[in-house]
Structure 1
Amino acid sequence: MTEPTAHRTPPGGPGAGVSPSRSLAPVGSRVLLESQPGATHTRAVRAAWERHGFHVEEADDAPGGGPPDVYCVVAVGNEAFGARPSAPLRRGRVARVLLAMARRGRGRAVLVTDAGPHVHAGAGPEAAAARAADQAWWQHLAKRCAPRGVAANTVRVGYAPFLGHVLSEQAENELLRHLVTRRPVEPAELAAALRVLASQGLGNVVGETLPLDGGLDATVVPMPSARAARPAHDPGPGVPDPFRLDGSVVLVTGASSGIGASIARECAARGADVVLAARRRPELEKLAAELREHGGRAWVVTADLSTPGQAAELVRRAWEHTGGLDALAHAAGAVTFDGPGDNTPHRERLLSLNTLSYASACDALLDRWAAAGRGGAVAAVSSLAAVSAPVANLASYGLSKAATTLYTHHFATSAARYGVRANTVLPGFVRTPMTDVTNPAFLRATNRLVPTGRMSEPDEVAALLCYLISPAAAGLTGAALRIDGGGHCLAGLPHLNPTTEGARP
C-alpha cells in the first residue's frame, strides 16, 4: 500500500484552493449579489464568494449580460443578534433574475439570512413576520425554478459579528452559552457553505436550509457550570483547502456497495485514508484495490453490525489497524417493509442494524477521541423516512432512521465539549441496484412529487456527507440535511393540470 498522491490545486478561478474532486466543480464563475449597498454584511458575503475565486457583481452596479451562474440574495437584520433592521426582499427584481435563470435552464441561488424558525425574545414580532414571509416566498419560487435546472437553497447564519451583528459583551456571552459550539460563526464557514451550494455535486439539494448557527436547534440549557464561550478563529484564506481530508483516516461502514462505496471513493478523492467496513469481504477487497491503485491507503475490516457488540469491536480493530481514526461515515443499514401481524423481530433487527450499532460506534469513538485529546467528526446516512411517510409499510424502517437522526442531534450536544461534531444526511430515493428493479410506474409517480423530477445519485449523497466531515463544515453540528430534489423541503401537491405541467415558470 502506498501513501496518497498529492492533488494539485488550480492556480486561480472558481474553486481555486478547492479539492479537485469532481463533486466540487463550480457551476460557473459569475455571482450576482443582491444585498444592501455598502452594508457590512454585503461586504462580508462578497468576500466569502471571492475567497473561493468567484467573480462577484453587485446587483445595483451589475452591467447586465444575461443571468448569472449563481444568484446570492442577502437578508440580514435579526434584532436578537444585534443586527440593524433590514429592508424586505425586492421580490420583483429577485423573481426576474431567478426566472431568467430558469428560462436558461441552469444555475444556483442562495438566500443568506439570519432569520429562522426560532422565536427570540429580543426580536420584534412584525419584523420577524416580515422575514418569515420573505422566506416562504423564496421557497415557493424555489419550487417553480427547480424543474428548470435552478437549485435554490438557504444558508441560515447564527450570531456572526463579521456580518454586522453587534451585542454587548454580557449579551454576547449569554447568547453563546445557548449554542452547542459556544462561539460565533466564522467567515471561512460561510464561505465554505456558499461554495458547496454552488457546486455541481449538490445539484439535487433543493429548497434546503443549511443551519450555520452553532447548533441553535438543540435549544441548549445553559447550566451555571457551562463552559465559557470559545474564541472565534478564522484561519484566513491562505490555509489548506478546507474541503480536503488529507491526513485523515475515515471509517466508512456499509462500504461494500451503493452509497457507502461512493462515500469511500469521495473520501479518497479528497485525500483521506479509509477503513472499509461491511459484511462482504470480496466486495470490500475489490474497492480497496481500486483506491490503492489511485494512490490511497485502504484497510478492510469485516463486521456484521446487526450483531450486538460488533460496532465497538469494529472501532477497536479499525483504530488498531490505522493508529487512530478522525471521522466516521456511517452508511451501513437496511430497508425492509413491514408485513401483516407482529413485526417485532423485523423491527428489532432494523433498530439493531440501523440505529443501535451506529450509536455503539459513536460511543466507542468518543471514548477514544476524549482519551486521546483529539477531535473528530461523525456523519450518518439516515433517510427521508425519518421525517416523512412516503409509502405504506415503512413504519419500522422510518422508526430506526428517525432514531438515528435524533440520536445524532443529542450526540452532537454531548460530544461538543470534546471537539467532536455530528450531523446526518437524509436522502430521498437514490438510484441504486434496488431502484433498477423497482416498478417503473412507482418511480414515475415518485419523481412527479420531486421538484427536480429525478432521484439523487449515490455520488451526490457522498459529496454532501464528505462536506460534513471536512474542516469546511466546522460550524455545523447537530444538523440534518436533506438531499431529495426538494421533495420534502418544498413539499406540496404537484401540478394538477397535466396540460400545464411542462410549462416554463
Structure 2
Amino acid sequence: MTDTTNGTPLLRTPSLAPVGPRVLLESEPDAVHTNAVRAAWERYGFQVETASTYAAAPAQPPDVYCVVSIGNETFGAGRRAPLRRGPVARVLAAMSRRGRGRAVLVTDGGPHVHGDAGPEGAADRAADHAWWQHLAKRCTARGVPANTVRVGYAPFLGHRLSPGAEEEVLRHLVTRRPTEPGELAAALRLLASQGLGNVAGETLPLDGGLDAAVVPMPSARAARTEPAAGALGGPDPFRLDGDVVLVTGASGGIGASVARECAARGAGVVLVARRRPELEKLAAELRERGGRCWVLPADLADPARAADLVGEAWERTGGIDALAYAAGAVTFDGSGDHARNRERLLALNTLSYASLCDALLTRWTVTGRKGSVAVVSSLAAVSAPVANLASYGVSKAATALFTHHFATSAARYGIRANSVLPGFVRTPMTDVTNPVFLDATNRLVPTGRMSEPDEVAALLCYLISPAASGLTGAALRVDGGGHCLAGLPPLSPRPRHGSTV
C-alpha cells in the first residue's frame, strides 16, 4: 500500500493500520458507482480486484470484501442490479474459514420511507440488507466483522436528479450538500482498519444527517454543492495537525485513550478530569512523545463548572477546535428513592456536556471556527441489558438525543456533532465485575469479547476529524455487534439447513 494520498503523507497509527491490502469488489461491471467505489479504495492504496476476475481464477480470500448495491430511485439512480447472494455468501464463507478480514456493504437504501420510492424496490433493498445482517452475525463470530455504509444523495455514484428535485433533496439534509467521494473513501478506510475490530453490524449513515428529518422551511439556508473543507484533496483528512481537542474524563479509561489517539494524530489536547495526579502523569507521557497538552482539573458533576471550563481552556490554548466528551459515571439504582442518583448522573453525563457544547458553540460562532463534537454515550441509551440501570440509561439517552439536536442547530455554522455508544469496554470497572456476568454478556456478542478503550477512541477521533465531514447527528455503536446484530445466540451446535457461513 502507498504512504501518500493526493501527494501528502498518509497518517500511520496503530488504529488506522489496514487489515490488509487486497479488496475484492462485488459490483455491477462498468457501472458509474462501481468505478467510483474502486477509486475510493484506491485513494488509500488498496489493491482492488473485481468479482468477475476472482471467480475466473479463485485465489486466497480477500482481506476486505466490498459489496456495492446502488439503485435508490428517490436519488435518481438507475435500475439496481440484483444482489448476487450466492457468490457473496461463498466469499464470506471462505473468509470465515480463514478466520480474518472485513466485509463492507455500500448501499443507498435505508429505513426511510420516501414518497418517490417504489414499494417493490424498497422491499428488495430492505430484504438484501436483512440478508446481509444475518450473514454479518455469522461471519463476525468467525473473525470477519461486517458493516454497512449508507450513502445519501451522491452524484458521483450515478445519482441524477433534475435541478429542482436535487434542491429539494438537499434541503432535507442537515449538511445541505451531497455526499462526496472523499467521505466515502474515508469511511471505507475506517471500516478496513485495525481500530474498528469490535464494530460489527453497524451502519455508517454517510447521508448528511437524513435521520434528523429536517423540516425544510422556506427560510432555511440554501443547499450547497461546493466540496466540504478537508473532504477532498489536501492533507490526509484523518489528521488533526494543529487542532486543539478538549478531552474530558482524561484521567483514565476511554478518555485517556482518546487523548493519546488525538496526540498521535497531531492534535494538542486539553486534559480534563477530577484527579490531577493522573492528568499530570498522562501529560508527561504525551509531552515525552512530542505532544502539546494542558492540564485542567475539574469536577464535571457540577454543570456550572463546565460552563467556566471552556473560557479557561480557550484562554490557555488560544482556541478549541473539538470536544471529545468521555467523562461519565455509571451507578445502579438501589431500592427506594432514586432521585439523588438520577440527578448526579444527569449532571455529569448530560448537563455538563450540554453546558460545554453551548459554551463552545458561542465561541465557535464568534470566531468562525468549524468545530466538531463527539461524545461517549452508551448502549444503555437504546437498550436495557441489566436491571437497575434506568437512571444511567436515561442520562446516556439524553446525551445522545441532545447531540442529535445540537447537530441540527449548529450545522448552519459548519459545526458537527456525533455520539458513540459503546457496549462493555475493558476498564478498571470491568476488572472487578463478576466473571460469570461478563462471560454471559460476551456470549451475546458476535465477536465474543468486550471492546478495548483504544477501539472507542479510534471511532471518536474519526468523528472529530475532517474525514467524517459528511457525518453529523449520528449515533454509532462499538459493541462487537451485540446490538446491531441482536438476537438469540445459536441454540444448537449443528448448523441450520442451508447455512452458507
TM-score by length of 1: 0.96
Give 1:210's aligned amino acid: L
SS of the equivalent of 1:247 reads coil
| Structure-to-structure mapping, 1:282-301, within 5 angstroms | 282-301=277-296
| Structure-to-structure mapping, 1:140-219, within 5 angstroms | 140-219=134-213
**CA distances 1:32-86 after superposition (whole Å, capped 9, x unpaired):** 0000001000000000000000000111123421210000000000000000120
- Contact persistence 2:231–2:467 (CA under 8 A): no
The residue aligned with 1:387 is 382
SS of the equivalent of 1:267 reads helix
SS of the equivalent of 1:175 reads helix
The residue aligned with 1:229 is 223
- Contact persistence 1:18–1:24 (CA under 8 A): no
- Contact persistence 1:430–1:456 (CA under 8 A): yes
**Whole-angstrom distance in 1 between the partners of 2:482 and 2:301:** 30
- Point out the more displaced range, 445-454 or 59-68: 59-68
**Whole-angstrom distance in 2 between the partners of 1:499 and 1:66:** 27
**Whole-angstrom distance in 1 between the partners of 2:10 and 2:27:** 26
Tell me how far 1:16 sits from its aligned partner. Answer: 8.6
Change in 2 beyond 3 A, CA 1:284/1:236:
closer
Q: Percent identity?
A: 77
**CA distances 1:162-192 after superposition (whole Å, capped 9, x unpaired):** 0000000000001100000000000000000
Give 2:485's aligned amino acid: L
The residue aligned with 1:54 is 46
- Contact persistence 1:386–1:405 (CA under 8 A): yes
**Whole-angstrom distance in 2 between the partners of 1:236 and 1:348:** 41
- Contact persistence 1:181–1:214 (CA under 8 A): yes
SS of the equivalent of 1:367 reads helix
Residues 1:496 and 2:491 are matched in the alignment = yes
**Whole-angstrom distance in 1 between the partners of 2:145 and 2:236:** 25
SS of the equivalent of 1:274 reads strand
Give unpaired runs (5+ residues) of structure 2: none
**Whole-angstrom distance in 2 between the partners of 1:471 and 1:160:** 18
The residue aligned with 1:31 is 23
Return the match for 1:70 from 60, 64, 69. 64
**Whole-angstrom distance in 2 between the partners of 1:440 and 1:420:** 42
Change in 2 beyond 3 A, CA 1:25/1:127:
same
Give 2:279's aligned amino acid: L
Paired residue total:
495
Residues 1:137 and 2:127 are matched in the alignment = no
**Whole-angstrom distance in 2 between the partners of 1:115 and 1:11:** 34
**CA distances 1:407-454 after superposition (whole Å, capped 9, x unpaired):** 000000000001100000000000011111111110100000000000
Tell me how far 1:307 sits from its aligned partner. Answer: 1.2
- Contact persistence 1:70–1:107 (CA under 8 A): yes
- Point out the more displaced range, 54-63 or 288-297: 54-63
**CA distances 1:305-325 after superposition (whole Å, capped 9, x unpaired):** 111311111111111110000
SS of the equivalent of 1:119 reads coil
Change in 2 beyond 3 A, CA 1:407/1:471:
same
- Contact persistence 1:17–1:52 (CA under 8 A): no
Return the match for 1:474 from 451, 469, 473. 469
Change in 2 beyond 3 A, CA 1:12/1:173:
closer
- Contact persistence 1:88–1:131 (CA under 8 A): no
Tell me how far 1:498 sits from its aligned partner. Answer: 5.1
The residue aligned with 1:407 is 402
- Contact persistence 1:204–1:452 (CA under 8 A): yes
**Whole-angstrom distance in 1 between the partners of 2:357 and 2:104:** 33
| Structure-to-structure mapping, 1:67-146, within 5 angstroms | 67-146=61-140
